[in-house]
Amino acid sequence: MAYEFITTRTEGEKVGVITLNRPKQLNALSPALMVELGQALKAFDADEAIGCIVITGNEKAFAAGADIGAMATYTFADVYRDDYITRDWETIGGIRKPVIAAVSGFALGGGCELAMMCDFIIAADNAKFGQPEIKLGIIPGAGGTQRLPRAVGKAKAMDLVLTGRMMDAKEAEAAGLVSRVVPLDKLMDEALAAALMISGYGRMAVMAAKECVNKAFEGTLADGVMFERRLFHALFATADQKEGMDAFVNKRPAAFKNQ
Ligand code: HXC
């Protein structure tokens, strides 16, 4: 499919790579870009061959936020009536395969929120994260005030949301927002290696693992632990579990068939 504001490709026939592609606007997330991102995510999720998805930008920007030019003239009536942000932005939450954000440069406002909607973030050493909406007279609108405190705790989330300051990759890693920081020129190698590794595992175990970790952020600990246990039990009904354990016992590599 031909896109205007993103590009897509596959890596090793197993990983779907989506590159945000409005470089002149620092990948500002216009409504049209978000429609395309949703379409590409759904297409990779539906593609049997794909086991993991990577979203990335360019060296200067993952995404510098929602498109301020597009938003500037919106009225309350526009955004409330059309429920601005939810529909296309929520697509990512329904994707069942893991989605990795490979972030270099700015990840600000909606860009930081998009990265946080991914399952984990690998950052280049030049990455900068922030929720600068306060400077525009608004607040984060795509989950930033909720996901940031869950990732980094209240103190740092309040600091970032109230001051609008940026946090560099080192601070983001120490705070728990990103899973790894790598040199800029190694970012895609690292993200693709992780995605290929995940794609090589049994698909059902991968999806169950993602669902279970996400449960940790909803409901009670007891409910989450029970949800995990039941999916853990269910995986014993799969051929992949037999294959994975037989391979270990017989000291050979596992060949998962997603069955
Ligand atoms: C539209 C943007 C943009 C954005 C940058 N640009 N960010 N356009 N929306 N969010 C454009 C600039 O207007 C400029 O266009 C070009 O990209 C390059 O940007 P510069 O400012 O010249 O680059 P630089 O001096 O390097 O500064 C980089 C920057 C700055 C610090 C990232 O651009 C910046 O502060 N951007 C805004 C960041 C922000 O406030 N994000 C939150 C948006 S609100 P021209 O045509 O002049 O070359 C938001 C709400 C989310 O995200 C709500 C739910 C989704």
Q: 166 CB under 6 A from ligand 1?
A: no
Query: Is residue 125 within 8 Å of 104, Cβ to Cβ?
Result: no
How do the pLDDT tens digits run along the chain, 259 residues long? 799 999 999 999 999 999 999 999 999 999 999 999 999 999 999 999 999 999 999 999 999 999 999 899 999 999 889 888 777 899 999 999 999 999 999 999 999 999 999 999 999 999 999 999 999 999 999 999 999 999 999 999 999 999 999 999 999 999 999 999 999 999 999 999 999 999 999 999 999 999 999 999 888 999 999 999 999 999 999 999 999 999 999 999 999 999 9
Give the ligand 1 atom nearest the CA of 25: 17
> Is the beta carbon of 69 within 6 A of some atom in ligand 1?
yes
Query: Whose Cα sits closest to atom 46 in ligand 1?
Result: 25
> Has 133 been annotated as catalytic?
yes
> Alpha-carbon distance 102 to 118, whole Å?
10
Task: List 108's β-bridge partners, or say none.
Answer: 130
Residue 166, both tokens: 């940026």
**Strands 166-168 and 128-130: what pairing?**
antiparallel
Sign of the dihedral through C-alpha 74, 76, 80, 85: positive
157 and 164 in contact (C-beta within 8 Å)?
Answer: no
Asked if 235 and 204 count as a contact pair (C-beta separation under 8 A), the reply is yes
Encoded tokens for 107: 């990840």
Q: Whose CA is nearest to atom 11 of ligand 1?
A: 25
Q: Is the CB of 25 under 6 A from ligand 1?
A: yes
* Token pair in block for residue 55: 């979203």
Go through 188-216 and write b for each residue having 16 or more CB atoms within 10 A of its CB, e for each that does not.
Answer: bebbbebbbebbbbbbbbbbbbbebeebe
Out of 133, 141, 209, 244, pick the active-site residue. 133
Q: What value of ipTM does the predicted structure carry?
A: 0.98
- Whether 57 and 103 have beta carbons less than 8 Å apart is answered as yes
Ligand 1 atom nearest 67 alpha carbon: 9
End-to-end Cα separation, the chain, in angstroms: 29
CB under 8 Å to 83, separation ≥6 — which residues?
none
What is the pTM (predicted TM-score) of this model?
0.95
* Cα dihedral 191→193→195→197 (10° resolution): -150
How long, in residues, is the chain? 259
The atom of ligand 1 lying closest to the CA of 132 is: 40
Helix (H, G, I), strand (E, B) or coil at 164: coil
108 lines ligand 1 (CB under 6 A): yes
Crossing angle between the packed helical segments 144-152 and 154-163, to the nearest 10 degrees: 140
The encoded tokens of residue 101 equal: 């954000």
Mark out the alpha helices in the chain (DSSP H runs): 31-46, 68-71, 76-81, 86-89, 110-117, 144-152, 154-163, 169-175, 187-199, 203-215, 221-235, 239-249
**Catalytic site residue 110?**
yes
Backbone angles phi, psi at 103, to 5 degrees: -110, 120
Ligand 1 and 66: CB distance under 6 A: yes
- What is the distance, to the nearest Å, from the Cα of residue 101 to the centroid of all Cα atoms in its chain? 5
